[in-house]
Amino acid sequence: MYLLEVRGLTKHFGGIKAIEDVSFRIEGGSIASIIGPNGAGKTTLFNCLTGITKPTKGSLYLSGTDITGIPSHKIVGLGIARTFQNIRLFREMTVLENVLISQHLKISTGLFGTLMKDNAFLSKEKAAREKALEYLGFVGLCDAAHVPSLSLPYGGQRRLEIARAVATDPVLLLLDEPTAGMNPQETGEIMEIIMRLQKLGKTILLIEHDMKVVMGISETIVVLDHGVKIAEGAPGAIKKDQMVIEAYLGRQEHAQA
Amino acid sequence: MLRLVLIALWLSLLFLPFRGLKDSLILFVILSVSFISFRYLGTSLRSLRITMQPSGKRIYAKGIALFRLRGSRYVVLLILLGLPFFLENYVLDISILTGIYAILAMGLNVVVGFTGLLNLGYVAFYAIGAYTYALLYAKIGLGFWVSLPLCIGLTTLSGFVLSVPALRLRGDYLAIVSLGFGEIVRLILNNWDSLTNGPNGISGIPAPSVLGFPLGGLNRYYYLILFFVILTYGVVKRIRFSRIGRAWMAIREDEICASTMGIHTTMYKLYALSFGSLWAGLAGALFAAKMQFVSPESFTFMESVLILCMVILGGIGSLPGVVVGAFILIMLPEVLREVQSYRMLALGVGLILMMVFRPQGLLGGPGSGSGQ
């Protein structure tokens, strides 16, 4: 069984066809990428997958269960977490608190216990904190746990977003341009984090523009253009695909005339 | 510079036909001087702000650090417990009022400060709390301690009921709806003569007593209020540092992102509005018992604004901050009573300076109180 199956996904915004009949499947434990020019519908696809927008048509399956149209706060519980293209941290909160929030569904402290600060509450909070520090350690942000997240440097903010998503303990992790605006060294660090995540058994779906990242780590690539899937396959095949080249570089119509 | 003078000249020329040459000349001089001085004031304010901010930050950092010292809370408690022995009755009276407003400000802080929902009709819940106690006593003769849970329950319920339709709205629209709700409640209280006695209000509400020991005197009532302020502070603080409080903060910072972290944003906004209005119910009952009289006059829109100012002045989201804010905004007009009509001016200037030099409020700011 495939971990994620997208069947005939269609999303229209009024007259604009953001996504038109896109289908693909992703195997568990793999790293897959979605690429395509700007406006191809990649982020809309992510929004549909995480329940932020409801698809117009089509269905989504996670490990065989239908997750189409489930609201986003429930999707997280089913095991899909994401990061955002334009970083969306809880800016005024500390780095640690950011990661604590994503454990929202895991901490179950009763109201009475919270008010009394009883032992169950304290131990659960402590466990959550330790877990959060663990996740921060995973992306190398342990030392910055108590600074406000808006004071992190850009690369740190990206890594915090990943840590926060991973802390929801997802099976499928959606990363929306995790290396946008980064220098080669920072990009390398992110790639390394992604590969370590795969070793932990996470399935990763990337949106990425940096071809070095895409070709370097992904096992399958889905190419979207104007909301339509134009190619799917291994990196080697995608590189040579005529449709993909045209989508990126334009058509050579009158060249051979 | 020439441009400013020309604008002044043009404006005073407009007045020439109506007021004559002499008046226009005076107007011209006044206008040009004020325009030019405003221009310089603007630049000098900017440079003043640049030079002042770092030192202001240093002083504040020290002050806040002092505030966060471990033992400091016990010192504050000791001082508060000892106050009735030193204060004259008048000041004690104001302190009781400060306490009631501190409870209100902490409650509103949950809604505005933690969750980021602008509520301009908070006074409605305050009014519901006060009137519930007043009516329960006047109509059925229930005492304070029996009425208190009912006051709190009814206020929380009304907070919940208001939020259900209001939560379809965001930001400014929610503010307008809540403002409307505040006015509706006040108008109902004002016009439902048969139940609320209209603008004349309800009088003769008794102060509470414990085991036959009356708490009506200023001294004793002060301790009662102090108890409830500390209770409010403790409960709100503990909720703030639990998953519920974190969920509220997350909604304030980024609602969509919060929902992708598994937070049911609508539910948590409902919790915030209900939990916030709970404290208004408590404060309302305490207010009614203190004044022994309630009338719609006490629950105008300006009260909502005053409570909101306390939250903003003290520092949005910071609990000690809003208590300090309540203290300042209740005490300041009393201290400035000497200068009578200028006190609102002083208050206004104070708030503006606040926005210029410390927009995050006295004790607010990123990470405020998050260290626990």
**Do B90 and B144 share a domain, yes or no?**
yes
Helix (H, G, I), strand (E, B) or coil at A11: strand
Full DSSP string of A123-183: HHHHHHHHHHHHHHHHTT-GGGTTSBGGGS-HHHHHHHHHHHHHTT--SEEEEESTTTT--
Element (DSSP H or E) covering residue A32: strand A31-35
**Do B24 and B128 share a domain, yes or no?**
no
A125–B261 C-beta distance less than 8 A: no
List, in order, residues 6 or more apart from B66 with CB less than 8 Å away: B72
Residue B254 is nearest to which of A72, A88, A151, comparing CB atoms?
Answer: A88
**Do B5 and B121 share a domain, yes or no?**
no
Over residues B124-147, mean pLDDT: 91
Mind listing the pLDDT tens digit for each residue in B288-332? 999 989 999 889 998 898 999 899 888 888 888 899 889 988 888
Residue A162's pLDDT is 93
CB B192 within 8 A of CB B315: no
Which residue range(s) make up the domain with B17?
1-30
Mind listing the pLDDT tens digit for each residue in A149-201? 888 999 899 999 999 999 999 999 999 999 888 899 999 999 999 999 999 99
Question: Best interface-test mutation with B: which of A52, A100, A104, A174 has the largest number of B CBs within 10 A?
Answer: A104
Is residue B239 included in any domain, yes or no?
Answer: yes
More reliable by pLDDT, B37 or A193: A193
Indicate if A87-169 has the same CATH topology as A1-79+170-179+202-257. yes
Q: With 90 as the cut, is the pLDDT of residue B195 above it?
A: no
Residue B365's pLDDT is 60
Is residue B270 included in any domain, yes or no?
Answer: yes
More reliable by pLDDT, B257 or A249: B257
Residue with tokens 């808006």, as numbered in its chain: A150
- How confident is the prediction for chain B on average, in pLDDT? 85
The whole-angstrom distance between residue A201's C-alpha and the CA centroid of its chain comes to: 15
**Do B268 and B344 share a domain, yes or no?**
yes
> The whole model's pTM is what?
0.83
Residue A157's pLDDT is 92
Q: With 90 as the cut, is the pLDDT of residue B40 above it?
A: no
Residue with tokens 């169950």, as numbered in its chain: A120
What does the domain layout of chain A look like in residue ranges? 1-79+170-179+202-257, 87-169
Q: With 70 as the cut, is the pLDDT of residue A252 above it?
A: no
Residue B107's pLDDT is 95
**Do B9 and B131 share a domain, yes or no?**
no
More reliable by pLDDT, B174 or B209: B174
Over residues B110-120, mean pLDDT: 91
B260–A73 C-beta distance less than 8 A: yes
Q: Which CATH superfamily is domain A1-79+170-179+202-257 in?
A: P-loop containing nucleotide triphosphate hydrolases (3.40.50.300)
CB A230 within 8 A of CB A247: yes
**Do B148 and B93 share a domain, yes or no?**
yes
Is residue B308 included in any domain, yes or no?
Answer: yes
Q: With 50 as the cut, is the pLDDT of residue B153 above it?
A: yes
CA distance A141 to A200: 19
Residue B340's pLDDT is 66
Mind listing the pLDDT tens digit for each residue in B354-370? 777 777 777 766 544 43
The count of structural domains within chain B is 2
Distance from the Cα of B358 to chain A's closest Cα (Å) equals 16
**Do B3 and B123 share a domain, yes or no?**
no
Provide, as residue numbers in chain A, all residues whose Cβ is less than 8 Å from the Cβ of B239.
114-115
Overall CATH class of domain A87-169: alpha beta
Mind listing the pLDDT tens digit for each residue in A37-73? 888 889 999 999 999 999 999 999 999 899 998 999 9
Is residue B15 included in any domain, yes or no?
Answer: yes
Residue A97 is nearest to which of B254, B265, B370, comparing CB atoms?
Answer: B370
What is the CB-side half-sphere exposure of residue B226 using CA atoms within 13 A?
20
Q: With 70 as the cut, is the pLDDT of residue B78 above it?
A: yes
Q: With 70 as the cut, is the pLDDT of residue B276 above it?
A: yes
A101–B261 C-beta distance less than 8 A: yes
Over residues B217-237, mean pLDDT: 90
> A239 vs A184, A243, B302, CA distance in Å?
21, 10, 67
More reliable by pLDDT, B14 or A76: A76
Over residues A220-231, mean pLDDT: 91
More reliable by pLDDT, B348 or B372: B348
- Interface list for chain B against chain A, based on CB atoms closer than 8 Å: 235, 238-239, 242-244, 246-247, 249-250, 253-254, 256-265, 317, 366-367, 370-371
Distance from the Cα of A107 to chain B's closest Cα (Å) equals 7
What is the CB-side half-sphere exposure of residue B90 using CA atoms within 13 A?
3
Over residues B161-177, mean pLDDT: 83
More reliable by pLDDT, B285 or A114: B285
Residue B235 is nearest to which of A88, A94, A115, comparing CB atoms?
Answer: A115
Distance from the Cα of A130 to chain B's closest Cα (Å) equals 15
Task: Return the CATH number at B165.
Answer: 1.10.3470
**Do B22 and B163 share a domain, yes or no?**
no
Q: With 60 as the cut, is the pLDDT of residue A257 above it?
A: no
Is residue B41 included in any domain, yes or no?
Answer: no
> B42 vs B39, B166, B167, B337, CA distance in Å?
5, 41, 41, 31
Q: What is the ipTM of this complex?
A: 0.88
